[in-house]
Structures are given as C-alpha cells and as structure tokens.
Amino acid sequence: MSVSPTYSSKKTMKAIYHVFSPSDPHGILIVFALLSSLGWFTNGSYEFFKSFLEAPPQWNLLWSGFPFLLVFLYALLQVRHARRNVRPKMERSKNLNRAKVLILFLSPFKNIGPPQTPEALQAKEFLDGVCAGQIKATLQEALEKLDKNTWAMPLKALDYHRETLERLIVIPSADSKKQVGTHQEFGQFKALVEAIWSSCQKMTVKGMGTINQNYQQGVDFEDAPALVEAIDDVYKYLLNQHYSAEQILIDVTGGQKLTTVAGAAVSLVEGRLFQYVSTIDKQVAIFNVTYRLETE
C-alpha cells in the first residue's frame, strides 16, 4: 500500500527534529557525539591518505571512522523509532483565521427534498432573476431564498471571510453518466456571488478552467486522484501568485464525500487549512493538520 509522500516526509522531519532537539539533553548529546566523531573521522582520513601517498599506508587510521559510524547508526535508529510514534493531529483553529483565498467545490443547484416544492421553485426564480440583473440581492435575502438549497452553504462560507477575501476559486464537477456536471452552472454561481458582493471590488471569482485549461469541463468528483491533483494545481497557481499557505482555505462542505476526503488529504501538508460549514447550526469551523509524537 502506498503512503502519501507529504505524510511520509512530515513524519520523518518531525522525528528528526525530536531526536536532534536543542531543548533536549539527549538530542544535544547526540549532536555533540556526531560532530566529535566526525572530526576524528575527517582527521584520521586525512592522515591515512597522507600516509598512503608518502609512505606505506597506516591502515590503523581507518579505525578513526568507527566511532562516527556507531553514533550515526544510533541516531538513525532513534529517528526510525521516533518516526513510528509520529501521528497527524487535527486541531480546530482557535484564532478564527480569515482567508484571502477560498477554494470550494461547487454542488449542483438543488433544494433538499422534492424538486417541485414552492421553496424549490422560489429558489430557481430568485437565481434566474439575479442572473438576469432583475433582482439586486443582499446576502441575507439570498440565504432566506436559498435556505434549503445546496448553494446556501458556500454563501455562508464566503460571508465568513468577506472582510479579507480577495479570490474565490471554484472547482466544479464534470459531466457523468448520472448527471450533468456543475461546470455548466458555474456561470450562474459566479453571477450570484458577484451580485451579492458587488461592493467588494477586491474579490474576484475564478473557475478552475481559467487556471488550467485541462479543467474547462470540470473535475470528476468520483475520481479521488484527479481531485487531489486539481487542488494541488490550484495551490501551485496561488503560491506563484505570492499567497502563503496560511492565507488559503479549502472549503470541504460542497461536492461529494470524495471531495471532502481529497480536500482534507491535500491539507496534510502542515500549514494548510480547511473549513467546514455545519449543516446544523450553519457555523464555520476551520481545521489545521499538525504532526506530533504520541509522547507529546
């Protein structure tokens, strides 16, 4: 079974830091022993090669590397042992991070329940009116009209970051055998968001297809590797735009179960954050994945 390279490297780095920690006497002793034995080894090697060139080689000088080899192997075993005890830890952010960039998955526009209820028809009429420019919607009005609609959650997620948000990156779904992908609804979602936040000039809404032409038709929400690759492509794009990982949030509320898994998996890189909007109280919860030893 393959292991996430990010997870594997983070475990190793955490273990190395633990073994060679400057705040731990044991770690300081290992570093001192490594440096001292390395000094003996380099001096002995120099003297050996010197004797090899000028006179019969002094083979006994090669033993100067033996202490270094022993200390190095001991440190390696300590790192290996510590690595086994490194575990990912999910922490709910306590300082209520406000993001500059939000990445979210676009769910189909639909109401929870039967499709032809008065609430569903009212929601569709409201969306059409906003997209046609006939309705000047406020956030509060949109949340009331779309209360039982799947698009209410991303609006709540956006509102949480309204004071700091500069970019919204939307990842829509591709067409499948069962249903039409939300890439065909992205235009309406963008129009709705821009209408509500018309006074927020600094926020721009981009679809995944504008970042990478390969995603013009959306991403398969049933293909976990494709989802992870798409999210990573967004991160690469944003990092090149000089945003830091701490300024970017992945919202895992929308889409399907696999989008939630993929979003959380990409967040295994320490420093990346993801958020979820509760379907019960509509509150935003932000999480951070860190790594720690079980003994900590």
pLDDT in tens, 199-210: 666 788 999 988
DSSP-derived pairing of the beta strands 204-207 and 167-171 = parallel
**Secondary structure of residue 193 in the 3-state scheme:** helix
67-73 long-range contacts, CB within 8 A, separation 24+: 67/37, 67/40, 67/41, 68/34, 68/37, 68/38, 68/40, 68/41, 70/37, 71/30, 71/33, 71/34, 71/37, 72/34, 72/37
Residue of 177, 97, 193, 204 lying closest to 137 (CA atoms): 193
Q: How many residues does the chain have?
A: 296
Q: Which residue ranges in the chain fall short of pLDDT 50?
A: 1-5
Tokens of 73: 């192997």
Residue of 279, 269, 272, 11 lying closest to 287 (CA atoms): 272
Say how far apart CA 255 and CA 204 lie, in whole Å. Answer: 21
Whole-number pLDDT of residue 293: 64
Whole-number pLDDT of residue 177: 83
Strands (E), the chain: 86-92, 101-105, 167-171, 204-207, 248-251, 273-277, 284-293
Say how far apart CA 130 and CA 86 lie, in whole Å. Answer: 51
Say how far apart CA 239 and CA 284 lie, in whole Å. Answer: 24
Say how far apart CA 146 and CA 128 lie, in whole Å. Answer: 13
Residues 6+ apart with CB under 8 A from 109: 123, 124, 127, 149, 150, 151, 182, 185, 188, 189
Which H helix or E strand runs over 98? Answer: none
Cβ(169)–Cβ(208) under 8 Å?
A: yes
Whole-number pLDDT of residue 1: 36
> pTM of the predicted model, to two decimals?
0.69
